[in-house]
Amino acid sequence: MTTRNIIFFSLTILLISCNVNDDSQKKDKLLRENICGDWEKVISKENYSDDMPNLPFLFQQGMTISNDSIEFYLGFFKNDIDSITGKRISLYLGNTIPYKTDNDTIISKSPLTEKWEFKWKFVSRKNDTLKLAINDTTILTYKRLYYNLDTLPDFDQIIYSSSGCYGLCPIIDISLDKKGFILFQGEGYVNPLGFYSSKVDSRTKKYIFDKFRRANPIKLLDEYAVSHTDDQSLTTTFIQNGKIVKTIHDYGMAGTNELIWAYIPIANIHNNIKLVKLPFDEPFYPKLRYFTFKKDGLILPLEKSECFYLWTELKKAKQTDEQFKSKYKITFRANYDYWGPDPNKARQHKFEIKTLTTDGRFYKFEFIDEKPITYDLGYNFIDRNFKITDFRKPNEWEK
C-alpha cells in the first residue's frame, strides 16, 4: 500500500469515527433534553385506590432530572440499627444521584451499592408527558411539573417538628432561618439526642426553603390527617417578618405531595451537617410536653413547632430584672401522639421548674431552690402571632 493510500485510508477511518461520535453526542444531547425537568409519576387507577394504606412507599414519587443527576423527592434510605433501642431504623442517604446515558438507556449510580445500574429506557416524550421503561412490559408515565418561585411567598424561618408515634418514629425539632442558622433538638429515636446548633451553606438553605415554597404553604389547609391511629404528627411553622404566618399540622403525612417532598430534606438535615452541642436547654424547655397559655379559664395550646419557635426566640432574648404584671400562666401539655417511656433519659434539666408566667413579652421562669430568671423578648409574642379568638375553652382532659 502506497503512502498516499495509507493517508487516504487513515483519513477515512478518522472521518467515520468523528461521524459516529457526532451522532452519539447528538443522541445523548437529545435524550437529556427530553428527560430534563421536574416530573411527577402518574399513578394509574388500576394500580392505586383511596382505600390503600397511606404508607411511605406509596407516597407519590417526584423527581428533577438535570444534565448529570436525578433528584428523587422521597430520598434514599437504608436499614440501620438504632444505638438507643438496638432496633432497626432507616438511615437517610440523600436525595440526589448521578446518572449517565448509553443511546436510549439511562444508568444511575445506586446510593446503596455505589455501583452503576440500569434505571430506565427512554420510550417517548410528548409535550408534558414522559414515558420511561423499566423492562419490556412495564412503562412508567410522568407528567411535567411547573413552579414559578417568583410568584410564591418566601419565609424568614421554618420550624419543623415531629411528635413521635406509637412506635419508633423520630421525635425532633428543627429551626432553619434565612441566614442558614439551625437549632436542633433530638428528643427521641434519633441520633443525636439533645440540643444542638449549626449553620448550613446558602445552597442547602435555599434548597430547603424552595422545597417549601413549591408547596405554597400559605394556600394549604391548617390541618391534614389520615384516618388510622398510632401515627405521628408533623407540624411546620412559617415565619415572615418576625411573625407566624402559617402553621400546618399533618397527622400521618396526609398533606399534599409537595409538602411531603419538603419534609424529607429538613427532617434529615441533622444527618449531613456538623452539630455543636448545647450544654443545657436554656431557656427551660419541657421534655415530651408543649407550652399552653392559660387566661381567664381559656387556653391557647401551641403546636410543637410553635413551641420550638417560642424557644428559639427566648434563646435570643435578654435576661432582665424588670418587673411585669402577669397575664398568662404557661403550663406543659403532654405529647399525646407518643406513648412510652422517656426515650432520652440522659437529658437533664439544669433546674427543676416550678412556674412559668408571662404578659406576652416578659417570661418569668421560677425554679425549685434556684433564683428565678426573666427573659425579655422585646415584643409581645401572643399579640404578634395570635388572635384573641385563638383562645378556647379547654376540653376535660386539658383542665
Task: Compute CA distances 186 → 19, 41, 194, whole Å.
Answer: 59, 33, 5
Q: Return the C-alpha cell found at 270.
A: 441533622
CA distances from 38 to 2, 63, 252 (A): 58, 6, 26
pLDDT at 58: 54
State the Cα–Cα distance between residues 69 and 134, nearest whole angstrom.
Answer: 18
Residue 248's Cα: distance from chain center in Å?
13
Query: Cis omega (within 30 of 0) on the bond before 283?
Result: yes
**Residue 59: its pLDDT value, please?**
75
Phi, psi for residue 244 in degrees, rounded to 5: -70, 120
Mapped onto helix, strand or coil, the DSSP state of residue 398 is helix
User: Given this model, what pLDDT does residue 95 score?
Assistant: 95
CB 39 within 8 A of CB 64: yes
Which has the closest alpha carbon to 161: 170, 150, 152?
A: 170
pLDDT the model gives residue 360: 98
List the end-to-end C-alpha distance of the chain, in Å, as a whole number: 103
Q: What is the number of alpha carbons within 13 Å of residue 155 lying toward its C-beta?
A: 30
Note down pLDDT in tens along the chain; length 399 residues: 565 555 555 545 544 444 445 677 888 999 999 999 999 999 865 444 444 333 443 578 999 999 999 999 999 998 877 666 677 777 899 999 999 999 999 999 999 999 999 999 999 999 999 999 999 899 999 999 999 999 999 999 999 999 999 888 999 999 999 999 999 999 999 989 999 999 999 999 999 999 999 999 999 999 999 999 999 999 999 999 999 999 999 999 999 999 999 999 999 999 989 999 998 788 999 999 999 999 999 999 999 999 999 999 999 999 999 999 999 999 999 999 998 899 998 888 889 999 999 999 999 999 999 999 999 999 999 999 999 999 999 998 887
Is-contact 338 194, C-beta < 8 A? no
List of domains in the chain:
35-146 (2.40.128), 150-398 (no CATH)
Give the pTM: 0.89
Here the cell at position 49 is 385506590
Helix, coil or strand: residue 49: coil
